[in-house]
Structure 1
């Protein structure tokens, strides 16, 4: 009898041990699945990104993950995130979710703020609102905050030695690589760093030789850029304007009028346009306008820094639709060129 009881006790013990082992194995497997099994949902549309706005709560992160179906099982992520305390350490940003990413790796990336940078091209712009719209389409930065910063004269002068008009010279068209949640002040600093890399010692010396500051080079280059898209003509047109500046002549640049009237679609500049009351009216005012009329690209800037040497004082669009210009040293020759171009516009019935 005692032997039977002992046998049953041992059997129960072995069964209990076996059950406990199974429970431990099952628990270990569940823990492994929760932490290490890939949990990012595959997307046929390419890489998936999680955007966490500044000030977002943990619940907002979960809502985004669920609504955009970024995870196979959001419940396991939510459980592990709470267990590891991520719900109190949410960091904003743009995060790349690789298909092989598991909950543990995702949490480590989010907790450490290992963002994926945004690479985007900044196109030429004419006005501050256009710049703000381009940047806010790519980044979290608020358009209103950015525009307010661009209009803080004291800040701009102290930080960049620019004013609310010339600050647009800070932004070079080209490729930018930034964090999605870059705040407006850091965004301006990043543009200033790119601007500084462009202005090498050689380029500064070239500007000095022309008796122009870097900002003045930007302003003149913006006019050259609006005058032509032809690489061959840019240094020649830059030379025309520099010749006029040296002689104390007004620039009489049509693109500055179009900036002043706010209409760059005009094909034929009329005499009434030349009466516009604006410091950008270079038919009325000598010297350069107070700021750029577009964001000059590197090609236009280098055309000003390395202008063609000649005696031309005038130029006019060639009457063949090619986009090239005819140049003249005398006003009489220029009038003939301009008359041919006016006849060309007449033949196309372009009145404005």
Structure 2
């Protein structure tokens, strides 16, 4: 073998070695790039997609801490490295972000940088007192409970913004489904409730209220009483008609649910004479007309029952003794006393004293 051929072989070995090293480096670099940018990094959850909650004003360290603490990522370190390179710490957007299994760092950062947060769908349940509303919202949204309580007690602000006061503001809320972004503030939530309220009170419903001689707020107040009186859809327009008949005749409403609101105990099954002595503007046995505000947040069915009441001459009603939830109606007090005696006898037989 000549010296020239040996040198050529050596050169080729070197070339192949360098080529192999280059390929290995390229593969390593490609893997590193894929691992940081594209590799699925969101941890699979047996309960479905995970959610990352980023509070308003949260720094990057808090976001990383949440990801680590809740074990949402396989490799938080690669996410942190890429986030720094893409400038995410300076552009953090609060919200509730859905983290689907298989999402890589780059795709996740695209979502976070664009603020593509998931909306929160929740059911606003009927409530009787403001603290119950505040607790419901605090469980669903970022809205600060202290800020919400303060706004609900700010008479001047409520008058200016919604033409309501601290008592009638409860007519602003319609129970039912709501869809909002998680980082909705207390003020934004109230504005959203007001927008839902405006959509409900269309021109037709306003005309119906006018024909009854009632304002929308008064309709809410009366509907709240109807709602507490019965859960039976068939009875609601009839009961609404009873109360409207009494209002037209300037009779006191004598609505038991308003007494329960005044004494703060809706668990009472039997209203006693002493309850009728409670000193409260919500005592409709003492005070004529509607109470100053609603005793619960009236739903659409109860509101429409007031707006489209049954036409009749009934002035009284009483729960049926069969405890079916329906009511017996009467035009005269004598007939009503008979209905009431039958119901009281049922309570006595069941030993329900309160």
TM range (shorter): over 0.9
Alignment match, 2:310: 308
Counterpart Cα distance in 2 of 1:59 and 1:315: 63
The TM-score normalised by the length of structure 2 is: 0.95
Indicate the SS of the match to 2:318: strand
Alignment match, 2:140: 138
Alignment match, 1:161: 163
Alignment match, 1:242: 244
Relative to structure 2, which stretch is displaced further, 285-294 or 137-146?
137-146
Alignment match, 2:36: 34
Aligned-pair CA distance for 1:62: 1.2
Runs of 4+ displaced beyond 6 Å = 1-7
Alignment match, 1:179: 181
Counterpart Cα distance in 1 of 2:17 and 2:157: 77
Task: Work out whether residues 43 and 102 of structure 2, in 8 Å CA contact, stay in contact via their aligned partners in 1.
Answer: no
The CA deviation string for residues 46-97 of structure 1, in whole angstroms up to 9 with x for no partner, is: 1211111222221111111111111111111111111111122222111000
Alignment match, 1:295: 297
* 2:81 maps to 1:79: yes
Aligned-pair CA distance for 1:7: 7.3
The CA deviation string for residues 103-157 of structure 1, in whole angstroms up to 9 with x for no partner, is: 0010111111110000011111000000011111111112111111111111111
Indicate the SS of the match to 1:176: strand
Alignment match, 1:211: 213
Indicate the SS of the match to 1:94: strand
Relative to structure 2, which stretch is displaced further, 200-209 or 10-19?
10-19
Aligned-pair CA distance for 1:216: 0.6
Q: 5 Å matches for 1:42-81?
A: 42-81=44-83
Alignment match, 1:338: 340
Alignment match, 2:273: 271
Counterpart Cα distance in 2 of 1:217 and 1:288: 10
Gaps of 5+ in 1: none
Alignment match, 1:193: 195
Relative to structure 2, which stretch is displaced further, 15-24 or 114-123?
15-24
Counterpart Cα distance in 2 of 1:162 and 1:101: 47
Alignment match, 2:227: 225
Counterpart Cα distance in 2 of 1:28 and 1:318: 78
Counterpart Cα distance in 2 of 1:4 and 1:229: 100
Aligned-pair CA distance for 1:12: 4.0
Aligned-residue Cα RMSD (Å) equals 1.6
Counterpart Cα distance in 2 of 1:29 and 1:101: 17
Aligned-pair CA distance for 1:13: 5.5
Indicate the SS of the match to 1:25: helix
* 2:139 maps to 1:113: no
Counterpart Cα distance in 1 of 2:303 and 2:102: 46
Gaps of 5+ in 2: none
Relative to structure 2, which stretch is displaced further, 314-323 or 7-16?
7-16
Relative to structure 2, which stretch is displaced further, 98-107 or 331-340?
331-340
Alignment match, 1:254: 256
The CA deviation string for residues 280-321 of structure 1, in whole angstroms up to 9 with x for no partner, is: 011111111111000111110110000000011111111111
Aligned-pair CA distance for 1:201: 1.3
Aligned-pair CA distance for 1:29: 2.4
Alignment match, 2:326: 324
Task: Work out whether residues 40 and 101 of structure 2, in 8 Å CA contact, stay in contact via their aligned partners in 1.
Answer: yes
Counterpart Cα distance in 2 of 1:344 and 1:21: 91
